[in-house]
Structure formats: C-alpha cells, structure tokens
Amino acid sequence: MSEAQALPDTSHDSLIAQLQAILGTDHVITDEAERAYYSQDVYNQGPTVLAVIQPDTKEKLSKAIAAITGAGVAVYPRGGGFSYTDGYIPTTSNGVTVDTREMNRIIEINTEDMYITVESGCTWATIEEALKDKGVRPVFWGPFSGLNATVGGSMSQGSVTYGSSKHGPSGVAAEGMEIVTADGSIVTTGSAGQPGHSPFFRHYGPDLTGLFCNDAGALGIKAAVTLRLQRRLPVVMGLSYGFETFDGLHKGMAAAARDGLPTEAFGFDATVMKVFTGGQGLAQDLKTLFAVGMAGRNIFAGLWQMMKIAVAGKRFIDKAEYTAHFVCEARDMREMKSLLEAVRVAVDPHGNEIVNTVPAVVRAYPFPPFSLVGTSGERWLAMHGILPFSRVAEFKERIDALYERYAAKMEQHKIVKASMFTTIATNAFLYEPVFYWDDSRAAFIDRHTDPEILKKFTTFMPNEEGRKVVAEMKQGIIDCVYVCGGTHMQIGKAYPYTRERDAGALEMIKSLKAHVDPHGLMNPGALGL
Ligand SMILES: Cc1cc2nc3c(=O)[nH]c(=O)nc-3n(C[C@H](O)[C@H](O)[C@H](O)COP(=O)(O)OP(=O)(O)OC[C@H]3O[C@@H](n4cnc5c(N)ncnc54)[C@H](O)[C@@H]3O)c2cc1C
C-alpha cells in the first residue's frame, strides 16, 4: 500500500463542518499526524484520510455516516486498531475513519436471560471487569489483545482465544447486533428486530446476525452487539505439555480438541516461548506472579502456584521444541479430576507433561498490555490459516519448504520465524506463522508501547528489503493455506475470500454488498469487495 499523504482539500470543508455540527468539534480529528496514525495498523500504512470521527452514540454515528457517504466519501470502521490485515486501512485518501472507541458503554447485563448488550467500541477487558463478580461471562470472551481490541472489531474480523477451544470463534457469542449501513440506516438483527422483543436469541429464520460476523466491516458499522452469557465454572486448572516434534504437538492438540476437553488450548514453538518469557523485566515478572497468586483459589493455593512458577517456571522451555497448554474448567474437583485425566489420555501418547506455568499465568492475567514487537524492538507480523486436522501435516511441509527457499534471504535481512497454534471447537486447527525482523518501528507501535519499555528497544534502521521479503513470504503462506483447503478469520483486505469462490455464493455476497452499500463506500476493498 502506498504512503500517499493527503491534506484535506477545501472541497471537503463543508463535510468537515457538517461532521463537527453532528458530533461536536472534539470528535472530529483533522490534525495531519493524527490522521496518518489512524491510517496505519499494526503492520501496514495506507493513504491518510480526510478526517477521523469519534461518535459517542449510535444516533450520531448514523447521521455522520449518512453525511460522509452523501458527500461521496468512503468510510473506514476501526475498533481498537489491533489487527494487521489492512482491515481498516484506507484504500483512498478520500475517506473518513470511524473510531468507535467512544461508543464503549455496557447497555444491559441480564443474568436471568443470560445476555449482555454492549456498544461496539467496548473492549473485552471492560466486559471482563464488569462481569467478573457476577458469576457469568460471554461464551467467547476475547482475544489476547482484549485490553485494546473491541467487541465490534472482533466480531467484524473474527477472533479466537478465550472460550474458543470449547465453543468456537467470536461469532458464536453474538445473539444480535445493531448495524449502521452505508446510507446511515440502522438495522437490528436477532430477536430484538421485532417490537417489544429483547435481544436474547439469534436464530429465527435466516441468520442475519451471522451475515455481519467476519464481514471485515464491508457491510456496515456495528453500533451494538448482544453476547450470550454462560455461568463461570468455579474450578479452573491447566495442563502443559512439551513435544519433541511438531507432529507430536499437532496430534496431541487435535486429540484433546476432538474430545471437546479444553476451554482454551495454545501451542507455541520454542522461539515464541523465548520471546514471551525472555523479554520481560523483573517488574513485569513480579506483576505476573502477583496476579497469578491473587487468582489462586485461596491464598495458600496462590502461594503454592507462585512457588511452582518461581522454581520451575522458565526452565522447561529449553527442553521442548514445542509446548501446548490446556485450560480446563469444571463444576467441582471431582469433575476436574476426570477432565484432566481425559486430557492426559488424549495427549500423553504424543508428549510429556511439564509444569503448568503458562495456563496459570494466562488465566490470571488474560488481557495484558501486549508487546507489538520482538524483545529488542524488532518488527513483528503474524498470519494464520485455519485447517482441518487432516491437512495440518501437509501445511507444515509446505511452509517448511517455503522457509527453505527463503533461508538465505531471511538470514541476509535478519528475519526470524516462529509459530503459534490453537484449536477451535472440535474441528479446526489454527496455525499462526510469525515473523520478527530488524526494521524501524511505526508510530502505531510506539504509541502502544510503555515509554519505559520503549527506551530499552534498539532503534533499527528502515529495512525496506527485509519488509519486501516478509511481504513475499506472507503471500506464500496465504497460498499454502489456500492449497491445503484452509480458511482465515481476520480477512481484512489481505486474505483471498473471493478467490475461486463458488459462483452462486460470490454473486450472492456481491448482491448483498450492493444492497447495503450501493456506491461501494463502506470500507471499500474489505473482503475483496
Ligand atoms: C498483541 C496482539 C494479540 C492478538 N491476539 C489475538 C488473539 O488472541 N486472537 C485473535 O483472533 N486475534 C488476535 N489479535 C488480532 C486482533 O487484535 C484481534 O483479532 C481483535 O479482535 C481486533 O479487534 P480490534 O477492535 O482491534 O479491531 P480493528 O483492528 O480495529 O478492526 C478489525 C476489523 O474490523 C473492522 N471493524 C472494527 N470495528 C468495527 C465496527 N464497529 N463495525 C464494523 N467493522 C468494524 C475493521 O474495519 C477491520 O476490518 C492480536 C493482535 C495483537 C496485536
């Protein structure tokens, strides 16, 4: 994507004035540096938009969208901004970015009918804070990035992590939505779409809520989302395994997933484990340990857990090429014992049980302020493919062959590869290749990094060649996923959703897009539409 800079031209002055009248001047950003910042994501930079708006109610959002598209200007919805697939990156400077983070209220918590309705700019960490003492939580309750990631962003691009190994990706939690389409109309999906009906249920005729899940914001801007709640189970424990080979990790994680055992399952290769555990200073370690201690069932359990971590926590990573970590939840210790036993039966044939540090830390501190770079400040990019278990080994062979082809260039440009893994429900394996490389940092990264940590980073020179190699390998990995019959969430503008898609289905999605966005002004390019 080009780095074209564009100042607002005077022909847009009346649009800006109109937006200021609708939203208030404080909610319309025209400063050039700020506009440039909002035009980049974790990985890429697009043309600088004319303005960034920050509506704080759906009514204002609706009026603002009508004004923008009425002026023939494109709209780019943005949540926490924590994606890296060009999802909200402008395709033209004749556009306005909609920052939804001021629409961040919790509208209703209903523990009788088991739902929570929130404005789309609400983060997952805010929801967790609001629900943690109420004995309930959404069935999908956030990605690792949930301190910044919003419900609207996760629903639009499709996310996994908390709750996903049991229930599936973010969309499974959505019962209904309120969506502002390109002309400013507000569409309500799910049971609340009829007068006097609450948003408690999604399924009644064709699934319109599903239509807006994973749409990358191509079909409209989510203003509010209702999520299904479940009771929190009181006993939470984890198991961790080390594996000598990828084959062991894959088979172990797949076996536990097929039996529907863990609520969350994550796998890492040795490089990722070193980045996770090696880059944090003592203060962060103590903070993590303290959080783990506080999360213990009682003070003694907490102290015991902390001691195990302090004594054994980091040593195992030197011994295993791959590790996998399973979080299990149960109603009581009897149920937990049988659940842990079932995980052991599934995974023992493929690996060796190790100290369960990672699940304990992750659950104690689910939404940490994540680093967006490597331990010395290297640039970072993650990709992923969602594969059937039967094609994972073939995918691994293909990307290993790709890395082999690029070995010399990777060494030359100081590019390091790593991988992470998870399972989704009983039927999918998410393979996440990651690259770290020496390169200058973008403003986005500096803004989202603690200034004290920032001071410790190396300042790398711009590495244009390295960046090009990473971009080529990214494309190669996307192709490997496609050839192995895989899919993606986080489609954004980077993944080939329309490639060779069934003609009838493609026609249908294009007609839908034309219906809700006849002039192609709602996040143009997202989903490849
Ligand atoms: C450190 C780190 C950790 C991560 N961990 C995970 C993880 O565990 N699991 C995972 O799946 N992903 C993860 N991600 C990727 C990403 O953060 C998540 O997928 C997250 O859900 C994105 O939410 P967001 O609010 O930041 O969305 P954004 O990045 O702002 O937007 C994502 C997409 O949604 C659209 N969009 C945003 N808000 C709306 C709205 N209200 N209406 C319509 N469209 C909208 C945007 O146009 C864009 O296409 C991680 C990223 C980082 C940097």
**What is the chain's mean pLDDT, rounded?**
90
Is residue 402 a part of any domain in this protein?
A: yes
pLDDT above 60 (res 365) = yes
Whole-number Å distance between alpha carbons of 400 and 313: 30
User: In this predicted model, which residue has the larger pLDDT, 286 or 396?
Assistant: 396
Q: Which residues are paired to 222 by β-bridges?
A: 179
Nearest to 181 by CA among 207, 211, 149: 211
**Domain termination residue (choose one: 42, 73, 102):** 102
Is residue 356 a part of any domain in this protein?
A: yes
Query: What confidence score (pLDDT) does residue 315 get?
Result: 52
pLDDT above 70 (res 4) = no
Whole-number Å distance between alpha carbons of 298 and 290: 13
Residues 129 and 223 in one domain: yes
Q: Which residues are paired to 150 by β-bridges?
A: 123
Whole-number Å distance between alpha carbons of 301 and 51: 52
For the CA of 156, the nearest atom of ligand 1: 34
Is residue 390 a part of any domain in this protein?
A: yes
Q: Model-level pTM? A: 0.92
What is the Å distance from ligand 1's center to 251 Cα?
29
Q: What tokens were used for 146?
A: 């949930």
Query: What confidence score (pLDDT) does residue 276 get?
Result: 64
Q: What is the pLDDT of residues 289-299, one digit of tens each?
A: 445 444 444 44
Pocket of ligand 1 (CB under 6 A): 42, 77-83, 87-88, 100, 120, 143-145, 148-150, 152-154, 156-157, 159-161, 216-217, 221-222, 370, 372, 490, 492, 523, 526
Q: What tokens were used for 56?
A: 């704080």
**Sign of the torsion angle spanned by Cα atoms 23, 25, 30, 36:** negative
Residues 383 and 395 in one domain: yes
Residues 17 and 77 in one domain: yes
When mean pLDDT is compared across 74-83, 251-260, 269-278, 405-414, the lowest value belongs to 269-278
Residues 334 and 455 in one domain: no
Q: What tokens were used for 62?
A: 């609706």
What is the number of structural domains in the chain? 4
Residue 257, domain CATH: 3.30.70.3450
Residues 281 and 401 in one domain: no
Residues 287 and 360 in one domain: yes
Q: What is the pLDDT of residues 188-210, one digit of tens each?
A: 999 999 999 999 999 999 999 99
User: In this predicted model, which residue has the larger pLDDT, 447 or 116?
Assistant: 116
Query: Sorting pLDDT into bands at 50, 70 and 90, what band is 278?
Result: low
Residues 85 and 125 in one domain: no
Is residue 508 a part of any domain in this protein?
A: no
What is the Å distance from ligand 1's center to 148 Cα?
9
Residues 121 and 163 in one domain: yes
pLDDT above 60 (res 377) = yes
Segment 22-45 shows an average pLDDT of 96
* Residue 39 domain boundaries: 10-102
Residue 227, domain CATH: 3.30.465.10
Chain centroid to Cα 65, Å, comes to 25
Residues 147 and 262 in one domain: no
End-to-end CA distance of the chain: 17
Is residue 374 a part of any domain in this protein?
A: no
Whole-number Å distance between alpha carbons of 281 and 387: 36
Is residue 340 a part of any domain in this protein?
A: yes
In order of 101, 358, 446, the CA distances from 437 in angstroms are 31, 25, 16
Residue with CA closest to ligand 1 atom 14: 145
Is residue 498 a part of any domain in this protein?
A: no
Query: What confidence score (pLDDT) does residue 372 get?
Result: 84
For the CA of 82, the nearest atom of ligand 1: 26
Is residue 502 a part of any domain in this protein?
A: no
Residue 439, domain CATH: 3.30.300
Residues 113 and 222 in one domain: yes
Contact 191, 202 (CB under 8 A): yes
User: In this predicted model, which residue has the larger pLDDT, 376 or 109?
Assistant: 109
Task: Please count the CA atoms within 13 angstroms of the CA of 506 that sit on its side-chain side.
Answer: 10
Mutate to test the pocket of ligand 1, among 54, 157, 167 (most ligand atoms within 8 A of CB): 157
Residues 82 and 112 in one domain: no
Residue 51, domain CATH: 3.30.43.10
pLDDT above 70 (res 48) = yes
Residues 328 and 350 in one domain: yes
